[in-house]
Structure formats: structure tokens, C-alpha cells
Structure 1
Amino acid sequence: MTIATDSERLRVNEQIRISPLRVVDDEGNQLGVIDREEAMRLADEKGLDLVEVAPNVRPPVCRLMDYSKHRYRQSKKRQHSTKSLAIKEIRLRPKTDVHDLEVKGRKAREFLQKGHKVLVNMLFRGREMAHVDFAQQNMKTLIEQLADVAKVESPPRMQGRRMNLMLAPLKAVAGTE
């Protein structure tokens, strides 16, 4: 089920049944209150569509415009308004050294400051499964290192041979850039 947006609910050309209409031309000039047939004739002459932009007022306000161009612009505006944020992934191993952990932490900080979520993934191989407690300590160190820019969305937990941790940016930090 899709939700109709404002531009999809507008009545266009023959869908408009009410007469008279307050008509505005494509440059924004008011043409006054005229009957529907006259407005349709004007739209035809200019090669434009008659679009009902304010149906709840009496008489309804209609505008002469290229409706397909209007819908295209509205969809582009919607695409730009929705921020596309990805989940960035940082991969670690249980034997990751302190300095390497700091480097990965700095990279995670950059992602968080840009407003992205960060998935910290620690992969275990072979006998490393015996050292889960050491890996959890590394995860806690990383959480403490990023406490000023991130909150823990899902705590470190094992999923098969992986330990996952999801970090989300704090609102105050994400809004600065």
C-alpha cells in the first residue's frame, strides 16, 4: 500500500468538476474568477494543464502549469529531502592491538560525526572462540572511546562466529555538520 502525496492528489484538467474557478496563469498572474470551460480553453491554448491547487476554498484555485514537470520536480525535491545515510561497517579481530583499535575508533568517529550508523563486526576464526571475553573487553574499550559521539543502539552480542555492536550518532553531534 502506498501513501499518496499532495502532488498525486491534485485534480487535473477533466477531473475538475466545479465551476467557476479562480485561475492563476503559469507566471503567477491572477486571471480572475472564470468558468471551467474558459479555463480549460486557456490551458489548451497555452499547451498547459489546469491543476486544482487549493480545492478547499470557494471558488477553488486552479493554476495553469505543466503537470508532468511539476510532478518531476516534486519527486526530485522529495529525494533530496530524505537524507541517505548508510550503515558503515568497521571490521575487527579479537587479536586487534591497542593502536589498531584506536585507528579503527577514529574512523568510526568520522562516520558517526557525518551522521552514519556504525556496525562494529568482530570475526572469530578457529580457536579464537575461546577468547570471547577478551573480544568483549575490546568492544567495551571502543564504546568508551566513542562515548562522546555515539550511543549504543545494540550491545555487543555473538551471532555465530561474529560479535556485532551497533552504534548510532548522538543527535547533537550529527546536527553540527
Structure 2
Amino acid sequence: MSASLPRVNQGIRVPQIRLIGAKGEQVGIVDAAEGLRRAREEGLDLVEVAPLAKPPVCRILDYGKFLYALSKKEKEARRKHKIIEVKEVKLTSKIGEHDYQTKLRNARRFLEKGDRVKLTLFFRGREITHLEIGLKMIERFTQDLADWAAVERNTGLEGKAIQVYFAPKAGGKKSAPARPAMIPGKNEKGQTNSSHAEIKDEQSSKKTV
């Protein structure tokens, strides 16, 4: 919420105001005390909406609802001006499958948060002589992100690295949450599995015979 809130009711300390009624009608220039009296009669508040005007403009309205609308507007403005970061994911042309999947999950997580992703593929030593292996790795990574992102830019080979920039897709796919570990004898809801319980009862009865 903004630190500078509008003056309201007795806080409006000017002799005269330009008054706007509760329905948006222009009442005209009246004494501030008269504006406050009218607001009280309607069970509402007198709020200064244009303090720099001569005289200041005040409106009769519900101050609580006014603050809520103001807060909502500020949150929406902050959301639209969110700083978008560029997160880097580094690969090599000979990366192992486990490490590849970890890098891929990280990239998807960044994209789901609205950030851009910079993929950097490094060629070490003589790996540069097998450029096609690295290009296939980039193609695979791009396909694995197809539901999450679109390619913004591909720098091509610069030195011993290729960089590809990805931007999140509007309404892009979300990663499925991890499923909880199953407990023996329990179903997915944590309830006792009836067939498992029956086997236990049968085993118990055999012991007591």
C-alpha cells in the first residue's frame, strides 16, 4: 500500500472543497464541513481525491472499499513491472543423463516462475571437432522445453560455446508435483488397503490355531 494515503473526513482541513457525490454527480464547491455532513448522512466517508486542485476535489465514498481497490491496483502494477531475470543453465556435449535431467528440471522451474533461460553449451578440448554432437544436444534440450518455452535467440558458435535464449510461453505447461511415497498397506489417500488387511488377519488367525 502506498505510504501517502489520501486525507479523509476530519483530516481534510481546508475551508472549501469541490464535491463529487456518491453516485459520481458533480455537487460543486461547498464548505468542507458540508461535504462531511453529506457523507455522514449516507453512511459513507469524505475522501480527498485531488489534493492539488483549487479547491481540492473530494468525493463521497466507502473508504474501506477505496483502500481495497487502491491496494489491488498497486499489486497489479507491481506484477506487471516484475523484474524478469535470465537464469543460466550450462551443459557440455558429453553430459550424463542424470545431470541432463537435473538441468532440464531447473530450466523448467525457472520458466514456470516467469524467468528467461540462457542455455550455454561448452565444448571442452577436442569436443569442438564433433560439433554435431553438441548441436544434437541443443536440439534435444529445445524439444524437451517446447511446452514451456520458445527460442528467442541462438548465438551460434562463439569461441567454444553456443548460447540459446528461451522465453516462457504464455500459458505454458507446468511440471507435475512429485507423488508422495507409498506406504505398504496404504493407498494413495493414506487409507488402509483392505486386501492387505485381510492377508494380515488371515496370517494372524493361522498363528493362533
Decide which structure has the larger Cα Rg and report it: 2
Deviation at 1:171, TM superposition (A): 1.2
SS in 2 for 1:142: helix
Percent identical among aligned pairs is 27
Consecutive unaligned residues in structure 1, runs of 5 or more: 1-18, 43-48, 65-69
SS in 2 for 1:100: helix
Deviation by residue 1:20-41 (Cα, 9 ceiling, x = unmatched): 82257xxx8x9x84538x55xx
Q: TM-score, normalised by structure 1?
A: 0.56
Other-structure match for 1:123? 122
Other-structure match for 1:63? 58
Aligned counterpart for 1:22 among listed residues 19, 22, 35: 19
> CA, structure 1 residues 159+75, in 2 after alignment: closer, same or farther (shift >3 Å)?
farther
Other-structure match for 2:205? none
1:68-83 matches, within 5 Å, as 77=75, 78-83=77-82
Other-structure match for 1:135? 134
Other-structure match for 2:204? none
Deviation at 1:167, TM superposition (A): 1.5
Structure 2 CA distance, aligned partners of 1:105 and 1:80? 27
> CA, structure 1 residues 75+113, in 2 after alignment: closer, same or farther (shift >3 Å)?
closer
Other-structure match for 1:161? 160
Q: TM-score, normalised by structure 2?
A: 0.49
1:114 aligns with 2:127: no
SS in 2 for 1:89: strand
- Quick one: which amino acid aligns to residue 127 of structure 2? E
SS in 1 for 2:153: strand
Consecutive unaligned residues in structure 2, runs of 5 or more: 1-15, 36-46, 60-66, 176-209
Other-structure match for 1:7? none
Deviation at 1:153, TM superposition (A): 1.7
- Quick one: which amino acid aligns to residue 152 of structure 2? E
Deviation at 1:132, TM superposition (A): 2.2
Q: Any conservation in 2 of the 1:136–1:156 contact (CA below 8 Å)?
A: no
Structural RMSD (CA): 4.3
